[in-house]
Amino acid sequence: MSWSPSSGSGEEDEGIKSYRKGGYHAVRVGDAFAGGRYIAQRKLGWGYFSTVWLAYDTLSARFVALKIQKSAKEYSHAALHEIGLLSAIAEGDPSNSNCVVRLLDYFKHSGPNGQHYCIVLEFLGDSLLRLIRYNHNKGIGLDRVKNICRSILVALDSLHRKLGIIHSDLKPENVLLVSTINPEKDPVKSNFIPILERPEGNLNGGFPFTVNEKKLMIKTRRALVKISKRRVSMGGYVEFERSLDGIDLRCKVVDFGNACWFDKQFADEIQTRQYRAPEVIIGSGYSFSVDMWSFACIAFELATGDLLFAPKNRPGLTEDEDHLALMMELLGKMPRNIATTGSRSNDFFDKYGDLKRIRRLKSWALDRLLVEKYNFSEADARSFTEFLRPLLDFDPEKRPTAAQCLQNPWLQEPKEADA
């Protein structure tokens, strides 16, 4: 779930219908939680399980992220599972230096829709997805990619080697910068004065809009889109370049709602589609190395602005088949002993390890892709490929660990600072 401070998740909002028994808790600016300790300031984002609010902790005098879970039993169980993982992470990292979001507190809150588990986390900034989009999906430069990769690998090393946790949903939305891209969105940097009580006449702070208000917002948005299109057609609109200078690239891995203990896995199908490892698709079991596959996909996306794999449903083919074909076009044929050993292998492969319904694959080596499509220099393409390619091995046991990646020559400090 993304809870970047300047955006919600993929859809525009979570919708009014989910504010009902068993669903979300309706929050208004100035609402108090935990006996008055936490005061809601503004909504940061939302996910299928919860909404996330910027809150002010009156006891420690700091801003925090308050994640309020839906109240139905299955969501409460999910919250307890996440709290267990986050508690272990916090206990294993007393100095808060392992680049993983920190659990600060948790409690139950009673509302009209039921009892909601609330998780209090340190306030962080924008997601890597927002950083990629902020730079118009052009890639952020390899030195910046290296800085971010180091932080993610420190987090994965801690989760895997020290704690035995598989994140299982690593993607740009689930890695947050420690501060916001725009300082005005940061409550500390912008000297935001915390709201300590519900403002007079505030009926709708974070509550779903009424139907009429919603219609007015949609009309206004459409009008603004028409104006911007007219500017483009009249030649009056110029896309401005955005500088990445000065942005703090330190980041932390967040969202452990789908994470699991290495020895207590509860789901066969894990990971968001574009970051899903081949062993998950074919059903051959998984371990820490699924996170390393996802990490490689993120590194490529940061460097190029594009998804490494973007499978689609095609006529006569499933999305899984297209995904496997894309992998094999870039990485070569999947070894037969890997391809044929999954519980779903017969859905995709014949006895020789060839795809049943896709016979012609267009091969394109990763280093050539970087040079010919993304204009990398030969040297940069070669060194980046040497870093990424082992992480994309079809054999999960051959992928390097996070600890091994941190020792990779490509990740050593750049000779020059970012331009």
178-191 b/e with 16+ CB inside 10 Å = b?
A: ebbbbeebbbeeee
Would you call 169 a catalytic residue per the annotation? Answer: yes
Spot the catalytic one: 31, 126, 157, 169: 169
For tokens 């990740």, name the residue: 411
What's the rounded Cα separation, in Å, for the pair 35 and 88? Answer: 26
Q: Of 198, 196, 217, 199, give the one whose Cα is nearest residue 208.
A: 217
Task: Return the structure tokens found at 227.
Answer: 């104006």
DSSP β-ladder status, 251-253 and 62-69: unpaired
Binding site listing: 67
Print the SS3 string covering the chain.
Answer: CCCCCCCCCCCCCCCHHHCCCCCCCCCCCCCEECCCCEEEEEEEEECCCEEEEEEEECCCCEEEEEEEECCCHHHHHHHHHHHHHHHHHHHCCCCCCCCECCEEEEEEEEECCEEEEEEEEECCCCEHHHHHHHCCCCCCCHHHHHHHHHHHHHHHHHHHHHHCEECCCCCHHHEEECCCCCHHHCCCCCCCCCCCCCCCCCCCCCCCCCHHHHHHHHHHHHHHHHHHHHHHHCCCCCCCCCCCCCCCCCEEECCCCCCEECCECCCCCCCCHHHCCHHHHHCCCCCCHHHHHHHHHHHHHHHHCCCCCCCCCECCECHHHHHHHHHHHHHCCCCHHHHCCCCCHHHHECCCCCECCCCCCCCCCHHHHHHHCCCCCHHHHHHHHHHHHHHHCCCHHHCCCHHHHHCCHHHCCCCCCCC
Binding site listing for ATP: 67
Residues that are catalytic: 169
